[in-house]
Every structure is written in structure tokens, then in C-alpha cells.
Chain A
Amino acid sequence: MTESLFEQYAAAVRSEHAVCLVTIIHGIGLGSKILVRPGEPVAGTLGDSELDRVVERDALAELEVGRSGVRNYGANGQQRENDLTVFIESQAPPPFMLIFGAVDFTAALADSAKLLGYRVVVADARPVFATPRRFPMADEICVAWPDEVFDQFGDVLGPRDVVAILTHDNKFDVPAVTRALQTNVGYIGVMGSRKTHDGRTERLREAGVDQAGLDRLRSPIGIDIGGRTPEETAISICAEIIALRSGREVSALRDRTGPIHER
């Protein structure tokens, strides 16, 4: 017996593959559905092969940007006609957060990232620190140098994804930042005091990072909410990530001067 559409939908969502469920919610063919997955044939039908073809194309475009919404079509997929209304429900795979440095701040940030729905990878070259016991919430732990980590994940990083570099040690920070800047990742945050930031900026310039690259960095990482603990710092970082995505003005630590913590 073939799997029902619901079972196919559930399997795709659980395996974190991109999938669109399209349902006719008004008009001809009410309740008919198709399942659209990139690189796979459409499952189900909306009742007309031309309609299926047009809606599949539109659904793939919506899936690309992770957007859900309604569209109207003619009975055979004509644009600007209103025989039927479909609802396109996009389930994009979860975005990535790649955290460098297996420190206390990492555990708090990884917890917050899971709350926001990220797939979290913790990377550190030191096997003593990068353990599942210390980071049970991480989806994956990479005991590796930044270059190896980017060899593995660099190509999949896109605008919805995050790189957070919490090592504040130039030996790790410089290669991690340099490689992160070569990806399309949406957010690159780098931790450290003002002094660490200034020293690191010098090292990055020496390593060939130009001003456009430096401007892309959120360094020091986070917004200015006066957070102190690892948990408060994690909230400050996540708030900056959300604000960058939504294009809102916030008081970012990188745009201010003076000490990060009040004495």
C-alpha cells in the first residue's frame, strides 16, 4: 500500500527536508492537495495536470524563501483568475547555527538557539572541551579546527544561518572569521571585550580581510542590554540575530563605545 500524503508530509518534516504542502482551501477541488519537494516528483494532484505544474513552480519559489500564504488560480492554472484558492504551507529545513568555542557561553547560546529552532553545531579543536556531555543540546559536535569545519559546512551556509565565534583567541578567531566571510552566511558574530576586538581587528587586517569584510562582522557580538551571565549574553546575541533578519534598529554593542559590562 502506498503511503498517504500525510505520512509522506510527516516523513519529510521529521527528516528536516524542505517540503511544501499545497491545499485547495476555496473553490473547485476544495481539499485537494499536492506535496512539493525540491528534486522530487509531485505527490498527489489538485485535479488538473497543468494546475499541478504551475502550482508546483510557485510552491518551490515560496519554499526557497520559507514563506507560507494563499494564491488564486484558474481551474487549469491560469494566473489572474479566481476559480480556486490554494494555501501553500512551506516547511523549510531548520537554519544552522555554527558555534566556535566550547565554553560556558556556548552551552547557553546553544540552548537559546534550540529554543529558536536552529540546528546547532558546536566546534572546537580541543577534544577535552568539545564533548556531548558538556553540550547535550547540540545536534552535532565537531572536534576540528575552523578550516576543517568550514570544509564540511561552508557550502550549506546561507542567509538564514548563523556563525557565532566565541573562542576569543586569535589562533581560532582569525581562521574562523576569514572562512566565515567566504560563505553566504547571514550573521557572523564574534565575542570579546573592546580590547580583544581591537587586537583581533588588527590580526584580521593582516590576514587580508578588507573593510567590507570587517563591516559584515557583529563584533563585539550582541546588543547592549547589559547582560553579564552566559544566559543573558545568549539572549543578547539571539536578539541581535533576530533584529538583523528583520532589519530593525537596535543598540548593537559593535556600534557603541565604552566597556561592555558596567563596573
Chain B
Amino acid sequence: MKDILDDLVSWRQAGKRIAVARVVDIEGSGPRDPGAAMAVNEDGEVVGSVSGGCVEGAVVSEALEIIDSQSRRMVTFGYTDDEAFAVGLTCGGTIHLYIEPLDW
């Protein structure tokens, strides 16, 4: 979250509701290591990234849903997992993200 910290702080000061998605695990080939993060605020503004641009669009929809529901969960993207979302990584890997509201 280091790379997006300044944005998180200023959004928070502005009273925005925020969801943060972090890469927690990778199987096979993945462009970003665990710890890579992106954040979305209630206005739909986005900072950071969790892949090479392959899944960011889908993460934004997930994040907006999480801002609404104030829930938290793991989300997996990739072709190899049966429960994976339709969106995948072109490199063929699987990434596990954890998405939660910035409410802590």
C-alpha cells in the first residue's frame, strides 16, 4: 500500500469511502508481487494497480460493491480455478486479491 499511501490519506481526509484491493498470493505467472495494491473511492477514482492492467476493470466493480456493502472478501482471478471470474490474466497465472473497506 506504500505506493498509494498519499492518495489514501488525502481521500480519507476528504471523508471519502474507500476500498483497497491487495495482491495476497499468486500462482504461476503474475505481473505484480504480493503487497501490490490499488484503491477505489466512492466517486470511482482509482489509484495503483494489481496486475499489468488485465483485471483492474473487474476489480473496480468489485471494490465499488464492497464500498456499498461494507463487506470484505478474497477474490480470485485466473483461468485455472473453477471459481475464477471470467476475467483472467493473459499470462495464464492466477492472482488472489483481498478487498476491504478502508475502515480501520
In the assembled complex, which residues on chain A have CB atoms less than 8 Å from the CB atom of B25?
69-70
For window 5-47 of B, CB contacts with A under 8 Å fall at 5, 8-9, 12, 22, 24-25, 33-35
Instruction: Evaluate contact between B33 and A25: CB separation under 8 angstroms.
Output: no
Pick from B12, B24, B33, B34: contact of A6, CB under 8 Å: B12
Q: Which of A48-56, A87-95, A102-110, A145-153 contacts B (4 or more CB under 8 A)?
A: A87-95
Tally of A-B residue pairs with Cβ under 8 A?
46
In the assembled complex, which residues on chain A have CB atoms less than 8 Å from the CB atom of B12?
6
State how many angstroms separate the Cβ of A204 from the closest Cβ of chain B. Answer: 38
Bound-state Cα–Cα, A166 to B13, Å: 45
Instruction: Evaluate contact between A69 and B34: CB separation under 8 angstroms.
Output: yes
Instruction: Evaluate contact between A10 and B9: CB separation under 8 angstroms.
Output: yes
Instruction: Evaluate contact between A87 and B22: CB separation under 8 angstroms.
Output: yes
Pick from A5, A9, A21, A68: contact of B34, CB under 8 Å: A68
Interface residues on B, range: 10 to 19
Instruction: Evaluate contact between B5 and A87: CB separation under 8 angstroms.
Output: no
Known: A31-B72, A89-B1. 11 other contacts (CB 8 A): A21-B1, A31-B104, A69-B24, A70-B24, A70-B34, A70-B96, A87-B22, A87-B34, A89-B22, A89-B35, A90-B35
In the assembled complex, which residues on chain A have CB atoms less than 8 Å from the CB atom of B72?
30-31
State how many angstroms separate the Cβ of A80 from the closest Cβ of chain B. Answer: 18
Pick from A13, A23, A33: contact of B5, CB under 8 Å: A13
For window 27-47 of A, CB contacts with B under 8 Å fall at 30-31, 33
Instruction: Evaluate contact between A6 and B2: CB separation under 8 angstroms.
Output: no
Instruction: Evaluate contact between B104 and A33: CB separation under 8 angstroms.
Output: yes
Known: A4-B104, A31-B72. A91 touches B24 (CB 8 A): no
B-binding residues in A (CB < 8 A): 4-6, 9-10, 13-14, 21, 23, 25-26, 30-31, 33, 68-70, 87, 89-91
State how many angstroms separate the Cβ of A90 from the closest Cβ of chain B. Answer: 7
| CB<8 Å pairs between A and B, sample of 26 | A4-B104, A5-B104, A6-B8, A6-B102, A6-B104, A9-B1, A10-B8, A10-B9, A13-B5, A14-B5, A21-B1, A26-B74, A30-B72, A31-B72, A31-B104, A68-B33, A68-B35, A69-B34, A70-B24, A70-B34, A70-B96, A87-B22, A87-B24, A87-B34, A89-B22, A91-B2
For window 60-104 of B, CB contacts with A under 8 Å fall at 72, 74, 96, 98, 100, 102, 104
Identify the interface centre among B24, B25, B100: most chain A CB within 10 Å of its CB. Answer: B24
In the assembled complex, which residues on chain B have CB atoms less than 8 Å from the CB atom of A30?
72
In the assembled complex, which residues on chain B have CB atoms less than 8 Å from the CB atom of A89?
1, 22, 34-35
State how many angstroms separate the Cβ of B46 from the closest Cβ of chain A. Answer: 19
In the assembled complex, which residues on chain B have CB atoms less than 8 Å from the CB atom of A69?
24-25, 34
In the assembled complex, which residues on chain B have CB atoms less than 8 Å from the CB atom of A9?
1
State how many angstroms separate the Cβ of A263 from the closest Cβ of chain B. Answer: 41
Bound-state Cα–Cα, A32 to B79, Å: 30
Bound-state Cα–Cα, A109 to B34, Å: 28
State how many angstroms separate the Cβ of A25 from the closest Cβ of chain B. Answer: 4
